[in-house]
Amino acid sequence: MSVGPTAVGMFHALCAPYSLGCLSAYAQVHEGGRLKEHFDFHPITPAFHEHARRGVDALTGDGVFLFSSYVWNHAANIAVARHVKERLPRSLVVFGGPEVPRSAAPLREFFAKNPSVDLAVRGEGELAFAEVLAAIADSSGAPGGLLERDYSKVAGVTFRVGRAS
């Protein structure tokens, strides 16, 4: 998702979500493309805030939702992530980008302030995102949902533990 506020308070995409496209492209070729056997990678296109919400409403199952958060779109991303959690509470909401803190104390505050965020990428996201997907794929036969997977071996991420309901 890459949505953002306008000067008149509406939400819309301010630019093509280049960073999310790079993350998706990297994940699709990671380890010879093996993740494509486990995941449907949908096109990432700019969307109005309302369109993003309707897109979430149209889904019938849990998924991995990736948000690249910058100062200009962070509030909109949080609003859409909140809607994801209301509609599909067992989905995994992943945040990355400059608005995600890198150190422990600010990360605790970030998670406390944003209960809809399940996992935060603290730096460059290509490898971390691919490894998050690999952790899901490698444990696909394990009981529990996306929130109960073990992400502890993925470098550069911080995640909530025991969120599944």
Query: Among 90, 99, 107, which residue's Cα sits nearest to residue 144?
Result: 90
Q: Lowest mean pLDDT of 48-57, 64-73, 133-142, name the range.
A: 48-57
Q: Rounded CA gap, 109 and 101, in Å?
A: 9
pTM to 2 decimals? Answer: 0.82
Per-residue pLDDT at 126 exceeds 90: no
- Per the structure block, which two tokens stand in for 164? 């599944």
Residue type, 69: S
pLDDT recorded at residue 153: 92
Per-residue pLDDT at 16 exceeds 60: no
Residue 136 and residue 38 in contact, taking contact as beta carbons nearer than 8 Å? yes
Q: Lowest mean pLDDT of 9-13, 127-131, 135-139, 150-154, name the range.
A: 9-13
**Over residues 25-50, mean pLDDT:** 79
Per-residue pLDDT at 122 exceeds 80: yes
Burial of 11 (0-12, 13-18, 19+ CB in 10 A): buried
Per-residue pLDDT at 80 exceeds 60: yes
pLDDT recorded at residue 93: 94
Q: Lowest mean pLDDT of 53-62, 102-111, 130-139, 148-157, name the range.
A: 53-62
Residue 62 and residue 93 in contact, taking contact as beta carbons nearer than 8 Å? no
pLDDT recorded at residue 159: 92
The domain limits of the chain are: 4-159
- Per the structure block, which two tokens stand in for 39? 């995941």
pLDDT in tens, 81-106: 999 999 999 999 999 999 999 999 99
